[in-house]
């Protein structure tokens, strides 16, 4: 399918890769993934290949949406201080947290369609989260769920990374993290995404339920993302899909 000048470029910046989609307002025209740590040079080169006016970017950390500057990316510190709008001063650039982009896409087009209260959790290099309440996504910098303290001062993210070769232990850690979020937010559905997303086993589901205040009424639907690795890039493009 031919790329047109009115198409939107959606960019998902990850800790170890960059996903891009060309979005025509309804579907993907072209998609691309570049492996390797993102930096100023490769971002500018990759985005420049397309020559599109409208660019939506999902950032894996905290940023200033007004001036376009990245404040802190825990899993991509080389991006700290980078001003994305100044990289492309002649473009229309919109920025959001990468997991917020993931949630936006899944809520509109994927596993979250039909739900008003959604919790999205991505498990990859790190753990991110985003929350939709009454059809509205809470604005950044909300959603740093990976920094929930789970055991003896250790965060969910650190324990998740430490158990990457111990799937049963990792599932238990994830179940505790999800139970904490359910007890706080009571979502209708939790959507899991990212390279580390897995459906909970029966044992994992039972362990999660044991950590809920009211397991019979609180347990939400837990679903895997439907849009795959392109979800966050699509959600970034949707920032300009007006």
CB 79, CB 39: distance < 8 Å? yes
CA distance 120 to 186: 13
pLDDT along the chain (242 residues), means of 10: 88 92 94 92 91 94 90 90 94 94 97 97 90 90 82 94 94 96 95 91 94 90 94 96 70
**pLDDT for 131:** 95
Note the pTM of the prediction, 2 decimals. Answer: 0.92
* Maximal CA-CA distance, the chain: 54
> Do 186 and 88 reside in the same domain of the chain?
no
CB 94, CB 23: distance < 8 Å? no
Residue 188 domain-assigned (yes or no): yes
Residue 1 domain-assigned (yes or no): no
Report the interhelical angle of 202-210 vs 167-185 (nearest 10°).
40
Residue 193 domain-assigned (yes or no): yes
> Do 116 and 92 reside in the same domain of the chain?
no
> Do 58 and 141 reside in the same domain of the chain?
no
Tell me the residue range of the domain where 203 lies: 111-225
> Do 221 and 119 reside in the same domain of the chain?
yes
């Amino acid at each position: 399918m031919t790329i047109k000048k009115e198409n939107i470029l959606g960019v998902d910046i990850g800790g170890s890769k960059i996903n891009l989609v060309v979005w025509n307002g309804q579907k993907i025209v072209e998609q691309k993934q570049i492996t390797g740590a993102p930096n100023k040079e490769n971002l500018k080169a990759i985005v420049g290949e397309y020559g599109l006016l409208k660019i939506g970017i999902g950032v894996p950390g905290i940023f200033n949406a007004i001036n376009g500057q990245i404040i802190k990316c825990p899993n991509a510190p080389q991006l700290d201080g980078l001003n994305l709008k100044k990289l492309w001063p002649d473009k229309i650039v919109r920025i959001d947290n990468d997991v917020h982009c993931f949630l936006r896409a899944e809520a509109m087009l994927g596993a979250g369609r039909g739900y008003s209260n959604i919790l999205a959790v991505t498990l990859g290099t790190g753990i991110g989260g985003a929350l939709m309440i009454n059809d509205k996504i809470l604005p950044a910098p909300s959603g740093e769920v990976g920094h929930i303290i789970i055991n003896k001062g250790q965060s969910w993210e650190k324990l998740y990374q430490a158990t990457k070769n111990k799937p049963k232990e990792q599932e238990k850690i994830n179940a505790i993290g999800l139970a904490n979020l359910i007890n706080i937010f009571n979502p209708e559905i939790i959507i899991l995404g990212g390279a580390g997303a897995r459906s909970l086993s029966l044992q994992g589901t039972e362990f999660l339920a044991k950590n809920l205040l009211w397991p019979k009424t609180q347990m939400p639907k837990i679903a895997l993302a439907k849009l795959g690795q392109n979800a966050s890039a699509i959600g970034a493009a949707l920032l300009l899909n007006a």
